[in-house]
Chain A
Amino acid sequence: MSSLTIALAGNPNVGKSTIFNGLTGARQHVGNWPGKTVEKKEGVAQIRGKEIVVVDLPGTYSLTAYSIEEIIARDFIVNERPSVVVSVVDAANLERNLYLVAQLIELNVPVIVALNMSDLAKTRGLKIDPAALSMRLGGIPVIETVGNRGLGLTELKDAIAQVVENPAAAAPVLLDYGRPLEGKIKALEAIITTNTALRKKYNARWLAVKLLENDEGIIEALQAAGQSALLKEAEMVIEELEAVTGEDTETLIADRRYALIGEVIGGVLERPRAAVETQSDKIDRIVTHRIWGVPIFLLLMWVVFQFTANVSAPFLDWVDMLINETIMGWAFSLTGALGLGGTWIEALLTDGIIAGVGAVLVFVPVLMFLYFALAVLEDSGYMARAAFVMDRVMRAIGLHGKSFLPMIVGFGCTVPAVYATRTLENEDDRKLTGFLATFMSCGARLPVYVVFGAAFFGANAGNLTFAMYILGIVIALITGFVMKRVVYQSKPPAPFVMELPPYRVPTARGVFTQMWERSSSFLRKAGTVILAASIVLWLLLAIPLGADAAAPDGRDAGFNNVRAEDSVFGTLSGAIAPVFAPAGFGSWEAAGSLVTGFIAKEVVIGTMGQIYVDEAEAAPTDEAVAAGEEVEEEPGTTFGEDVGNIIVSFGEAAVLTVQETINIIPRTVNIIPGVEMPEADFLGGEEEEDTTELEAALTAAFTASAGSEQAGKLAALAFNVFVLLYVPCMVAVAAMRQEFGARWMWYQIAYTTALAWLAAVIVYQGGKLVGLG
Chain B
Amino acid sequence: MCDRHLMPLSMAAPGDTVELVEIRGGRRFRQRLADLGLNTGTSVRVIQNDHTGPLILAVKHDARLALGQGAAHRIQILPIHHTSKQDEPPGRGIQHEQFNHCARRQSQCRQKHHL
Contact = CB atoms under 8 A, between A and B. Distances in A.
Interface of A: 61-62, 64, 66, 92-96, 99, 124, 126, 213-214, 216, 246-248, 250-251, 254-255, 258, 271, 273-277, 280-281, 284-285, 288-290, 293, 384, 387-389, 391-392, 395, 400-401, 425, 492, 495-502
A68 to B, nearest CB: 15
A400 B67 CA distance: 11
Contacts of A389: 53
Contacts of A124: 62
Contacts of B68: 391, 395, 400-401, 495-497
A604 B69 CA distance: 45
B81 to A, nearest CB: 10
Contacts, number: 149
Contact of A96 (B41, B47, B62): B62
Interface stretch (B1-9, B83-91, B98-106): B83-91
Interface string B63-94: 11111101100100000000100111111000
A500 B65 contact: yes
B61 A250 contact: no
Given A95-B62, A250-B27, A251-B40, A277 B87 contact: yes
A498 B36 CA distance: 9
B31 A254 contact: yes
Contact of B62 (A93, A495, A496): A93
B31 A213 contact: yes
A288 B56 contact: yes
A280 B86 CA distance: 13
B40 A495 contact: no
A99 B37 contact: yes
A126 B89 CA distance: 16
Nearest to A214: B27
Contact of B35 (A99, A492, A500): A99
B36 A391 contact: no
18 contacts: A93-B63, A96-B36, A96-B37, A96-B63, A246-B115, A247-B40, A250-B30, A258-B39, A274-B88, A275-B83, A290-B52, A290-B53, A392-B53, A401-B54, A495-B68, A500-B56, A501-B64, A502-B64
Instruction: Give 7 nearest A-B pairs by CB, closest first.
Output: A496-B68, A246-B114, A254-B34, A274-B89, A495-B71, A62-B35, A95-B60
B95 interface: no
Size class of B's contact patch? 35 or more
A392 B52 contact: yes
B64 A126 contact: no
B31 A497 contact: no
B37 A401 contact: no
B28 to A, nearest CB: 7
Given A96-B63, A99-B35, A496 B71 contact: yes
Given A247-B114, A285-B48, A274 B66 contact: no
A389 B48 CA distance: 13
Given A96-B62, A247-B114, A497-B33, A276 B87 contact: yes
Given A216-B28, A499-B64, 12 more contacts: A61-B35, A93-B63, A258-B41, A274-B89, A284-B48, A288-B56, A388-B53, A492-B70, A495-B68, A496-B68, A497-B38, A497-B71
Contacts of A274: 87-90
Nearest to A98: B60
Contacts of A281: 47, 56, 64, 86
Contacts of B37: 95-96, 99, 258
B65 A499 contact: yes
Nearest to B73: A495
Contacts of A387: 66
Nearest to A502: B64
Nearest to A70: B35
Contact of B66 (A246, A271, A498): A498
A93 B67 CA distance: 18
A419 to B, nearest CB: 22
Contact of B41 (A255, A288, A497, A498): A255
Contacts of A492: 70
A330 B29 CA distance: 66
Contacts of B29: 495
A132 B39 CA distance: 26
Contacts of A495: 25, 29, 32, 68, 70-71, 74
Contacts of B30: 248, 250-251
Contacts of A94: 62
B63 A497 contact: no
B88 to A, nearest CB: 7
A93 B61 CA distance: 8
Given A93-B62, A499-B63, A499-B64, A284 B47 contact: yes
B97 interface: no
A275 B90 contact: yes
